[in-house]
């Protein structure tokens, strides 16, 4: 008997997580399915685990490739070749399907004749358990799209795993995953969008995407291997393949939207890591990316936030030290250290006026309104220039503040360092004194024993903020730290009955590179009190407690 849907679970050396993925398929509310475990010639215990899983459920078939292909494409393609159902889905061994994913997507296919159906994706961070919806604005409402030209923004949703495809659609266009390259999802999905006459979007979550941002280098997913230059080459190569396909298939009008997606999503992922790259890496990075950046639509650049355009231009001009500085401010409203104005009042990044029309257009900062925007949203740059361990669990910081818009009056400025472990706030006041026009410096002594840690303990990470006060107004912003310094750790026995903690002060290690402080409860608090407090803090428990209090009144 032919099953309704084939779900392919691809795996390579992932014996530990494979059962979780397969179980998410086995417990689907729509049970008439075929499950193909497609093994890319694993060398660990995966074959034994897969065969054991197949022995428990007749719906499971185990397919083992004769040799390792090094990617996701071949195991998916081989599974499609033997799939028996009229609809197919793909699942990675480190992820899961929602319990009703098959039911929901199949219902969309049965409502009308479409080429594929897609649903929402929930991202789960393995380190914190935090859950967020991937690209929520793209799946906000149920609808059927009549051609990608009507919604080109959907190019941002390039996952192949959030969709159920009609097998006839894949076969009619000979649509398969490109083998031998990474980022195969991007090309496959772009082709699917362009070739599909109709596809339906449902807002319900269908896929649970597990994110391990701090995974070991070799165990990390392809998207978490951005430090490898071949990763950059693969991503650019796939973009060129997509460009060629758009032209060949008569979808050249999508090029601006596709270029914008590359700049806003793909390049932006590398840009956030630039502060941690040395000149040799950045030179190779520029060699790979700049020729491709030169081919992109000028209108795509114009749609980007100004801070991202600055980073792009500094990379293209190989001003790597400045690119690192600019990248540390991405998404954080961090000002440059220095700006330069021309005779017409236009303001540019850095210590000089750009030489070309294009560079002036990309590096102009006038639209940031550094000198006129309201004080609460003004842009400053706060950097720790010196960090010294003090007595006990204390730290002495030298902080330099850059005010390129000259918003602060000449003279000492009132400032405060803010730290909030739990719900209560510690504010350490200090003074910033002028060093030169638009530059201030001050010293602050931070005693971590004074942090208001909850009695039941606090397990987590906090990044201190810097607050300025001017004419009754307050401005709060991130505090950048040196990108590397020896971590400092101490046991703190807090007063007033609070639990003891191991507290570690360290560089953030990713993103803008803020000062990072990590708390870990010790003793009874770590084993009992803190986990209990976390359970009681869950939204459902809080709602139940409120209802109980209301009923008792």
**In angstroms, how far is CA 156 from the centroid of its own chain?**
13
Instruction: Please identify, in words, the CATH class of the domain defined by 5-214.
Output: alpha beta
pLDDT tens-digit series, residues 235-277: 999 999 999 999 999 999 999 999 999 999 999 999 999 999 9
* Residue 24 near residue 208 (C-beta atoms within 8 A): yes
Residue where the block lists tokens 């472990």: 421
Rounded Cα distance between 278 and 416, Å, is 33
- Neighbouring residues of 72: CB distance < 8 A, sequence distance ≥ 6: 10, 92, 177, 184, 185
367-394: pLDDT as tens digits: 999 999 999 999 999 999 999 999 989 9
Q: Give the residue among 50, 303, 279, 280 at the shortest CA–CA distance from 152.
A: 303
Q: Is 422 left (phi over 0), alpha (psi -120 to 50) or beta?
A: left
Residue 436: both structure tokens together = 């030169």
Q: Closest Cα partner for 164 from 213, 98, 215, 220?
A: 98
**Tokens encoding 456:** 């039941």
pLDDT at 213: 66
* Average pLDDT of the residues of the chain: 92
pLDDT (tens digit, 9 = 90+) per residue, 400-457?
A: 999 999 999 999 999 999 999 988 999 999 999 999 999 999 999 999 999 999 888 8
Band of residue 227 on the pLDDT scale cut at 50, 70, 90: confident
Question: Using an 8 Å Cβ cutoff, are 161 and 116 in contact?
Answer: no
Q: Quick one: DSSP state of residue 61?
A: E
Q: What share of the chain is helix, strand, coil (3-state, %, to 5)?
A: 35, 25, 35
| DSSP letter for each residue of 311-362 | HHHHHHTT-HHHHHHHHTTTTTTPPPS-EEE-TTS-EEESSS--SSHHHHHH
Does the pLDDT at position 549 exceed 80?
A: no
Q: Is 90 exceeded by the pLDDT of residue 311?
A: yes
Q: Give me Rg for the CA atoms of the chain.
A: 27
Q: What is the mean pLDDT of residues 182-187?
A: 92
pLDDT for residue 532 is more than 50: no
Task: Give percent above pLDDT 90 in the chain.
Answer: 86
Quickly state the pLDDT bin for 527 (edges 50, 70, 90).
Answer: low
User: pLDDT, tens digit, for every residue of 268-281?
Assistant: 999 999 999 999 99
* Average pLDDT over every residue of 462-479: 96
State how far Cα 522 lies from the chain centre.
31
Kindly tell me if the per-residue pLDDT of 484 is higher than 60. yes
Whether the predicted pLDDT of 223 surpasses 90: no
Q: Beta partners for 62?
A: 37
Q: Mean pLDDT, to the nearest integer, of 185-203?
A: 97
Statement: residue 515 has pLDDT above 60: yes
Residue 194 is classified by DSSP as H
Residues 144, 118 contacting (CB under 8 angstroms):
no
Fold of 376-536: Immunoglobulin-like (2.60.40)
User: What band does 217 get if pLDDT is binned at 50, 70 and 90?
Assistant: very low
* The predicted structure's pLDDT at residue 526: 59
Residue 527 is given by DSSP the state I
Please list, residue by residue across 162-187, b when 16 or more beta carbons sit within 10 angstroms of its beta carbon and e when fewer do.
bbbbbbebbeeeebbbbeebbbbbbb
Query: Is pLDDT above 70 for 209?
Result: yes
Cα-based distances in Å from 441 to 133, 244, 252, 350, 385: 41, 53, 53, 20, 9
Do 506 and 487 contact (CB within 8 A), yes or no?
yes
Which pLDDT score is estimated for 528? 52
- Give the tens place of pLDDT for each residue, 46-70: 999 999 999 999 999 999 999 999 9
Tell me what pLDDT residue 553 has.
Answer: 44
Contact 92, 21 (CB under 8 A): yes
3-state SS class at 512: coil
8 Å CB contact between 332 and 299 = no
10 Å Cβ neighbour count for 223?
15
- What span, in angstroms and rounded, lies between the C-alpha atoms of 505 and 487? 6
> Against a cut of 0.75, is the pTM above it?
yes
Written as one string, the DSSP assignment of 92-135 is: ETT-EE-TTHHHHHHHHHHHS--SEEEEEEEEEETTT--EEEES
Q: Work out the average pLDDT over 336-350.
A: 95
Q: What is the pLDDT of residue 499?
A: 84
pLDDT(530) > 60:
no
Predicted pLDDT at 537? 47
Q: Which candidate, 446, 452, 445, places its Cα nearest to that of 495?
A: 452
| Cα–Cα distance measured from residue 432 to residue 446, given in angstroms and rounded to the nearest whole number | 15
| The pLDDT value given to residue 542 | 47
Q: Compute, in degrees rounded to 10, the torsion defined by CA atoms 131, 133, 135, 141.
A: -170
The domain segmentation of the chain, as residue ranges, is: 5-214, 229-368, 376-536
pLDDT mean over 478-484: 96
Which 3 state secondary structure label does DSSP give 21? helix
pLDDT class for 483, splitting at 50, 70, 90?
A: very high
Residues 6+ apart with CB under 8 A from 428: 416, 417, 419, 444, 445, 446
Helix 279-293 / helix 320-327 crossing angle, nearest 10 deg? 90
Q: How many angstroms separate the first and last alpha carbons of the chain? A: 60
Structure tokens at 80: 């499609």
pLDDT of residue 218: 47
């Amino acid at each position: 008997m032919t099953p309704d849907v084939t779900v392919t679970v691809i795996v390579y050396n992932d014996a530990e997580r494979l059962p979780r993925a397969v179980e998410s398929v086995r417990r689907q509310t729509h049970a008439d399915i075929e499950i193909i475990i497609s093994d890319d010639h694993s060398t660990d215990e995966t074959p034994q685990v897969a065969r054991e899983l197949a022995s428990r459920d007749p719906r499971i078939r185990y397919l083992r490739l004769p040799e390792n292909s090094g990617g996701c494409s071949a195991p998916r393609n081989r599974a499609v070749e033997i799939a028996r159902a009229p609809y197919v889905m793909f699942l990675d061994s480190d992820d899961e399907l929602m319990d009703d994913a098959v039911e929901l997507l199949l219902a969309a296919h049965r409502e009308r004749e479409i080429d594929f159906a897609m649903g929402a994706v929930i991202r789960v961070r393995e380190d914190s358990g935090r859950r967020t919806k991937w690209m929520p604005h793209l799946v906000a409402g149920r609808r059927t799209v009549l051609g990608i030209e009507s919604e080109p923004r959907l190019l941002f949703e390039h996952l192949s795993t959030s969709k159920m495809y009609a097998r006839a659609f894949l076969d009619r266009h000979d649509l398969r995953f490109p083998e031998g390259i990474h980022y195969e999802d991007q090309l496959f999905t772009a082709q699917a969008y362009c070739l599909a006459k109709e596809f339906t979007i449902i807002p319900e979550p269908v896929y649970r995407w597990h994110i391990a941002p701090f995974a070991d280098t070799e165990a990390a997913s392809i998207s978490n291997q951005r430090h490898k230059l071949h990763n950059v080459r693969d991503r650019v190569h796939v973009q060129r393949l997509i460009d060629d396909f758009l032209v060949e298939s008569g979808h050249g009008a999508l090029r601006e939207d596709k270029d914008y997606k590359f700049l806003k999503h793909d390049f932006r992922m590398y840009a956030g890591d630039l502060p941690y790259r040395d000149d040799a890496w950045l030179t190779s990075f520029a060699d790979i990316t700049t020729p491709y950046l030169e081919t992109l639509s000028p209108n795509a650049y114009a749609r980007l936030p100004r801070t991202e355009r600055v980073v792009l231009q500094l990379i293209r001009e190989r001003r790597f030290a400045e690119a690192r500085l600019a990248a540390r401010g991405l998404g954080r409203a961090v000002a440059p250290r220095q700006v330069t104005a021309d005779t017409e009042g236009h303001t540019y990044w850095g210590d000089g006026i750009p030489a070309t029309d294009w560079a002036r257009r990309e590096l102009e900062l006038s639209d940031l309104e550094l000198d006129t925007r309201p004080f609460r949203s003004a842009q400053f740059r706060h950097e720790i220039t010196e960090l010294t361990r003090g007595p006990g669990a204390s730290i002495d910081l030298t902080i330099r503040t850059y005010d390129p818009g000259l918003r602060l009056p000449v003279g000492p400025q009132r400032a405060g360092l803010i730290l909030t472990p739990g719900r209560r706030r510690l504010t350490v006041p200090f003074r910033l004194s002028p060093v030169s026009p638009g530059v201030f410096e001050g010293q602050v002594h931070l005693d971590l024993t004074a942090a208001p840690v909850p009695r039941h303990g606090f397990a987590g990470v906090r990044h201190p903020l810097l607050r300025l006060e001017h004419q009754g107004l307050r401005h709060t912003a991130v505090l950048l730290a040196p990108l590397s310094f020896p971590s400092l750790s101490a046991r703190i026995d807090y007063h007033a009955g609070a639990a003891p903690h191991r507290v570690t002060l360290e560089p953030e290690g990713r993103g803008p590179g803020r000062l990072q402080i990590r708390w870990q409860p010790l003793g009874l608090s770590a084993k009992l009190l803190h986990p209990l407090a976390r359970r009681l803090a869950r939204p459902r428990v809080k709602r139940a407690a409120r209802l109980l209090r209301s009923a008792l009144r």
